[in-house]
Amino acid sequence: MPTLLIANRGEIALRVMRTAKRLGWQTVAIHTDLDEAAPHVRAADRAVRVGSYLDVDAVVAAAQESGAGFVHPGYGFLSERAPFARALAEAGITLVGPSADVMDAMGRKDAAREIAVQAGVPVVPSYGLGEDPGAFAYPVLVKAAAGGGGKGMRVVRTAAELPEARAAAAREAASSFGDDTLLIEKYVESGRHIEVQVLGDTHGTVLHFFERDCSTQRRHQKVLEEAPAPTISDAQREAITSAAVALAQQVSYANAGTVEFLLDNATGEFYFLEMNTRLQVEHPVTEEVTRVRGERVDLVELQLRVATGEPLGIEQADVTLEGHAIEARVYAEDSFNGFLPQAGVATHVIWPDSSGDPDALVRVDHALESGQEVSASYDPMLGKVIAWGADRDAARESLVEALDATAILGLTTNTGFLRALVASSEFRDTTIDTAWLDHHEVPAPDDADARVLAGVVLGVALDASPRGPWQPDGFRLGGDRAPLTEFGRNLSGSGWFTRPTSAEGLQRVGSLSHGDGFVLRGRDGTEVVVHGQRFLLDRRDPFADHSAVAGDGTLLAPMPGTVLAVNVTDGQHVAEGETLGVMEAMKMELALKAPFAGTVTSVGASTGDLVKLGAVLFVVEPSAG
């Protein structure tokens, strides 16, 4: 019986384990002290502690200790690190992924670009780092040569912006990938991000499993992904998928990978961007729509079979499409308050039911449960909600309903933002391109429905209890926290009803025509989630009012995190908008800028400091006059 160590955490670790267990493999989890009781640890047949998920020696030692002959890297962490692949090979352990040499060739954007040219695949026009910036045709994109995921990327619109953009991109690239090498390319103002899922075996076969559209992104971070791409023609699909296979064949690619392209809306031309030498976060949408001889594809199963030396045993003609799928990434972030990362305890977590009508299938990949702490130490993604439908609109409507049925209390997430975005006419009409979210706002929902729902719960509570001088009033509630109450959409046909749905006392109340919601009454106030959006009534959200710049010139830490740079000193004169420092949390970098021209009178942190939410970082006094 093969033994597989999953060198990752969270939902991807659980997802890999599900397939491995179905195939009869033994599974091994690794974990840090923070994750000692995490779901992926409990799900594994065995668990081994490591000091860090990024420690190559520790992870290889864990595989040796547990007797694992195979290691699946998931995504992120060590998944595209050639030194990790080499260390495993030297230890006689098989990586479920491509070889170290292929990672070296394709993991760097500059090297991959040259291979694409050799394979006859079109690439984005570029500029040399030593060329005169004044001669560039702006806008341009500065990006890290190593790594991906939007890290180390900056759009530059004038030559004057280039030095600061290069410095920031290099700093972020060095932090994320240990390599500050940069590329400068043409920036396509309106484009579609199209990526092709490829998979090769060790017998010379390379196939594509069609394409995904990942155009709905913010600052190069994907928000929604779907398959197949809704805006390309059959001819474009054939050209793009053939180019992806040609590129993979050029390097004798084995195992799963993704070839990413940018489709210029203005010209219809497409350009190679990069290759991800691993499984992608958005692989579920491909699995939901791709069939092999009529059966739904399991990419992890194919990965494991390739890793054991089996041939794929299928031909390109065996791979077909059925329906449409859309994935929404649920993050611990306040999307309507600067997309600031959030941390804390998820006191109550409800994910949508993944069973039901097979023509409106909902899939949830997650590793978050009630009572779990969300740390700022890791990526803020909490889970993924994926909906399948017979066509795109059916999938979109199913996803809206699934997000309505998602509730995370205790900290703010982007679920309400996702729901509003998926329900929008712009997404419905596929007018959202790669730059749309950077230039348009998704309107924040008001709290009217939330207050109605909270009022109904309070009214029911007051009617059901004896009156007294200390009875709670309005939204200022006292006493111990009450059970979580869920509002359904016409669940009982008419009239109010309540019924327990779990041992913890979860209750369901029906007949609210305006949609689903969840209410939690507690000592400090009332939390309400309606259409995925979390509201706190008569209780101050500790994240909500901390802007990067307060009105009096005091700059507070808008999130717990690490200070990456301090650019000023006490007594220094600064201009309005000048960057005073930079901090990072959950892989998000935030520049702290002067609210007005003035003098820095206090610097409250140094580079490398770990700071708490609300810590005073800088104080600026306005210039006289």
**Residue 462: predicted pLDDT:** 52
Q: Residue 227 and residue 12: Cα distance in Å, rounded?
A: 19
**Residue 377: predicted pLDDT:** 82
Task: Evaluate if residue 598 carries a pLDDT over 70.
Answer: yes
Task: Evaluate if residue 505 carries a pLDDT over 50.
Answer: no
Rg of the chain over CA atoms, in angstroms? Answer: 25
CB 209 within 8 A of CB 198: yes
Band of pLDDT at residue 357, cut at 50, 70 and 90? low
Tokens standing for residue 240:
């793009």
Name the amino acid, one letter, at 372: Q
**Residue 615: predicted pLDDT:** 86
Q: What is the SS3 assignment for 316?
A: helix
Contacts (Cβ under 8 Å, ≥6 apart) of 132: none
Give percent of the chain above pLDDT 70. Answer: 85
Task: Evaluate if residue 312 carries a pLDDT over 80.
Answer: yes
Tokens standing for residue 289:
């729509």
Q: What is the SS3 assignment for 375?
A: coil
Residue 381's nearest CA partner among 354, 341, 421 is 341
CB 442 within 8 A of CB 335: yes
CB 382 within 8 A of CB 363: no
Length reported for the chain:
625
**Residue 494: predicted pLDDT:** 34
**Residue 447: predicted pLDDT:** 87
Q: Residue 298 and residue 292: Cα distance in Å, rounded?
A: 10
**Residue 202: predicted pLDDT:** 97
Chain-centroid distance of CA 289 in Å reads 21
Beta-sheet strand order (sheet of 525-530): 507-509, 485-487, 517-522, 525-530, 533-537
Q: Residue 617 and residue 548: Cα distance in Å, rounded?
A: 10
CB 29 within 8 A of CB 13: yes
Q: What is the mean pLDDT of residues 509-526?
A: 60
Band of pLDDT at residue 495, cut at 50, 70 and 90? very low
Q: What mean pLDDT, rounded, does the chain reach?
A: 86
Task: Evaluate if residue 402 carries a pLDDT over 70.
Answer: yes
Band of pLDDT at residue 349, cut at 50, 70 and 90? very high
Q: Residue 173 and residue 152: Cα distance in Å, rounded?
A: 5
DSSP letter for each residue of 434-480 = TTHHHH-PPPPP-SHHHHHHHHHHHHHHHHHS---TT--BTTB--SS
Give tens-digit pLDDT for 130-149. Answer: 999 999 999 999 999 886 66
Tokens standing for residue 495:
């009239």
Tokens standing for residue 574:
């600064």
**Residue 478: predicted pLDDT:** 34
**Residue 489: predicted pLDDT:** 38
Band of pLDDT at residue 376, cut at 50, 70 and 90? confident
Task: Evaluate if residue 482 carries a pLDDT over 70.
Answer: no
Give percent of the chain above pLDDT 90. Answer: 67
- The top-scoring range by mean pLDDT among 312-321, 488-497, 610-619 is 312-321
Tokens standing for residue 555:
């700059």
Task: Evaluate if residue 151 carries a pLDDT over 90.
Answer: no
**Residue 6: predicted pLDDT:** 98
Q: What is the mean pLDDT of residues 520-539?
A: 80
Beta-sheet strand order (sheet of 295-296): 295-296, 290-292, 319-321
Q: What backbone torsions phi and psi does residue 135 show, to the nearest 5 degrees?
A: -95, -5
**Residue 176: predicted pLDDT:** 82
Q: Give the chain's end-to-end CA distance (angstroms, integer).
A: 78
Tokens standing for residue 128:
């040399």
Give tens-digit pLDDT for 60-103. Answer: 999 999 999 999 999 999 999 999 999 999 999 999 999 999 99
CB 326 within 8 A of CB 225: yes
pTM of the model: 0.80
Q: What is the mean pLDDT of residues 203-229?
A: 96
**Residue 587: predicted pLDDT:** 58
Residue with the bigger pLDDT between 152 and 236: it is: 236
Give tens-digit pLDDT for 29-61. Answer: 999 999 999 999 999 999 999 999 999 999 999
